[in-house]
Amino acid sequence: MTPKVQSTTSSRNLHTGAVNSWSPTSFGLEGTTEYGVFNISVYGPHTIRVQVSRTGDFQPNPYSVVKAPLSEGFEVSDAGSHLLLQTDFINVEISKTPFAVTFKDSKGEIINQDDQAFSVSWLGTEVTNYKKLQDNERFIGLGEKTGNLDRSGSAYTNWNTDYFAYGTEDDPLYMSIPFFVGIHDKGSYGIFFDNTHKTLFNFGASNNRFAYYSAEDGEMDYYFFHDAEVKGIITAYSELTGRMQMPPKWALGYQQCRYSYYPESEVLTLSQTFRDKKVPADVIYLDIHHMEKYKVFTFDGEKFPDPKAMIKTLKNRGFKVVVIMDPGIKTEESYEPYVDGKDKGLFLKYPDDSIYEGQVWPGWCAFPDFTKPETREWWAEKMAFYTEAGVDGFWTDMNEPATWGQCTPNLIDFDYEGQQVSHRKARNIYGMQMARSVKEGSEKLISDARPFVLTRAGFAGIQRYAAAWTGDNVASEKHMLAGVRLLNSMGISGIPFSGYDIGGFAGDAAPSLYARWMSIATFAPLFRAHSMINSNDAEPWAFGEEVEEISRNYIKLRYKLLPTIYSAFYKSTQTGLPITESLAIQYGQDANVFDTKFENQYLFCDAFLVAPVKSKRDIAKVYLPQGEWYYFFNDHKYSGGNSIFIESPLNYLPVFVKGGSILTLQSETYHTGEDHDGVLNLHFYKGQGEATYLHYEDDGLSNAHKEGDFCKRTITLNSEKEMVQISEQAGDHNSTYKKYKLHFHGFKAKSIRIGGENKNLKTESLAFLEKLTEFDPLPEHLHPFHEVQNVLTFEIDNTTNPIDIELH
């Protein structure tokens, strides 16, 4: 039966109506209703797709999903009043009168359900799915969104927006990730609303009946995820939308940026100052003043007379160079990229086929249509201008796209892979496709080197192409803590590689704020400081001796932790799980983690519990979830399930290690290309049960790891049996660590048996941070420089059989 045609001008809510007919398909089932058609398909045992349209066909987003539906692993049946689709983890019930969807777990508990009266409805062209609120339901995620960890009672808009100095409650921002996780008494689920139009997510704002998500146009197309753990939901979402690739190791080191470092002499002085002051660093950025009159694919001949020579000098000092690229192409007839792009028809156009122009840094500009394959290839070719000069990475900015006036006309045409759509449908995807073009260009132009792309704008799936940062933040305590929540939310939403501008982009950070921000950012995936033109200097040494020492201390700690961080990145490429992890992911049924006093806390590399505190707070209240927790700097052990007070002077950020964790550290280095001392320090923290850690190495630069040139070892700690096992190596890479040094925290053993031989453990002092020369206010009883631990060092053979270690 053909569905009835609804008016798109109706001012009343129009429901999908009752099911008229249905039939099984290779991937699930499909059918018609009074006013539409529906298609429900299986993408995995944890993942169901629901599509509803009133036009009789579907026009899905071609950019976000990389997985195909499954043709097995499910059953479809007619239960009379409803249709039933079942996988091992999800039971989907489709009510016939009217059409409405209920999701249950394998035990029959309702996890999520439509509001039966409204379900999928239209108001004019706006399409909405109304979901009944469950008891004690909380909502987390939705990507780059300000506000509290728990999104209940709030509403958010997805519309990529250039927002200088945004407020810590403002919305929308630069990036749109329409994926969230719901948590309630019966379990948890995720929903990805795959519609690139402007969307609205209402989590019970101004009503107590339903949550809903709507798009101003297009069809209802969403993916539902369920697993016993939130981690499983994020893994299923990232399997659907793709995962990041291993970044170059230098991208995990400290990165220094300013709007702008110029001329060439200032850049060279900056690099030498890092080395002279023994502050580790890997990356220097060139912002828009490197260009001639802000025109992309140029260097200013006066400020940078010999960019190749400058970049060569920087590389000799151990620095990589990242340049900014804005999409705006100045409409100047003597400017080759404009003339070439115009001749090839690659710019955004009005419906009358004339080129759209908007004002941005260079003046009036044309904008490449990155939703057109030919444009992406063209832009990638133009990047040779930079790669031939020695540039290593690319920073895509202003790619919402941003223009002065902040009101791009909606009638502008985008190719959208041949569909020909307006700005309303294509805006949210534009920045993602620019990042895609840049990544693909970098892969082609820089031989066998992993790309590094940093983007401001994006959409679901952006993690396949770029790291992300949170845009033009402000030098304030509120922004420092809001940035933590933004990163945690992006991690929930499938973007593991993200960061914020340390110290704040707009305004001038107080010395204490900069120091605290630096300590927090040490435990963030992207470790980049950035500041604005006409602001005070904002390098680690610009705030006085105390801040310089604190900054150097934490940056050195970051480089010591690189084996742990690099292994965590590898794990994320396999699972999609975040590097910075909101406590709501592992402890979502614990109401304390949503308390505004504790909502900023997070896990880093699944081992560290980081409690961000304001710069002038000497006593911090910290919530420790269930388990055992060790204060990182002196091994004092605390029982979880409690809140504690801990002294937190400026040079000691409250950081704890989860009992049962395994950490790997290396010696100090001043950039990632510098050799360490060849010793891998393994730290074992006693906890409960058994825990595993995957240590991962490769050359850190090339793609040889894809052909087996890697080194992996699984390290297992059984705290109760006091046993450690180190597996034999997998992969062909020669590890750079020739010795292992074992450190045992919380164990009382005095000796171990290894390789059939008893060895005594030595007692050594340990300090993860160096003592400051003049500024060290931590009380003597908490001081980390008087603690002792049990250690053992032994040679490691990369081809050895598994190593069994038993403590005595």
Active site amino acids = 397, 400, 472
Distance CA 412, CA 354 (A): 10
Q: In b/e form, how buried is each residue of 55-80, taking b as 16+ CB within 10 angstroms?
A: eeeeeebebbbeeebbeeebebeeee
Distance CA 183, CA 205 (A): 17
User: Quick one: which H or E segment has residue 572?
Assistant: helix 562-575
Distance CA 735, CA 206 (A): 58
Residues forming beta bridges with residue 167, ordered by sequence position:
none
Residue appearing with tokens 């060092």:
793
For 321, the token pair is: 């160079």
Distance CA 503, CA 284 (A): 16
Distance CA 240, CA 42 (A): 12
* Closest among 543, 89, 2 to 277, alpha carbons compared: 543
For 46, the token pair is: 């944890």
Residue 706 CB neighbours (<10 A): 11
Coil/strand/helix, residue 526: coil
Distance CA 645, CA 623 (A): 9
Distance of CA 393 to the CA centre of its chain: 18
Residues forming beta bridges with residue 153, ordered by sequence position:
none
DSSP-assigned letter for residue 707: G
Quick check: 741 and 805 in contact, CB under 8 A?
no
User: Quick one: which H or E segment has residue 550?
Assistant: helix 545-560
Distance CA 319, CA 281 (A): 7
Distance CA 402, CA 365 (A): 11
* Closest among 738, 759, 746 to 805, alpha carbons compared: 759
Residue 641 CB neighbours (<10 A): 12
Distance CA 65, CA 400 (A): 21
**At residue 621, what is the residue type?**
K
Distance CA 694, CA 578 (A): 16
φ/ψ of 763, rounded to 5, equals -105, 125
Residue 593 CB neighbours (<10 A): 22
Distance CA 171, CA 144 (A): 9
Distance CA 283, CA 528 (A): 9
- Whether the CA torsion 381, 384, 386, 390 is positive or negative: it is positive
Residue appearing with tokens 């010999």:
306
Measured torsion, CA atoms of residues 490, 492, 493, 497, in degrees rounded to the nearest 10? 50
For 568, the token pair is: 């965590």
Distance CA 554, CA 520 (A): 9
Quick check: 541 and 279 in contact, CB under 8 A?
yes
Quick check: 129 and 222 in contact, CB under 8 A?
yes
* Closest among 258, 279, 256, 277 to 554, alpha carbons compared: 279
For 688, the token pair is: 């409960």
678 backbone φψ class: left, alpha, beta (φ>0; ψ -120 to 50): left
Residues forming beta bridges with residue 712, ordered by sequence position:
696, 730
Quick check: 108 and 119 in contact, CB under 8 A?
no
* Closest among 285, 314, 286 to 298, alpha carbons compared: 286
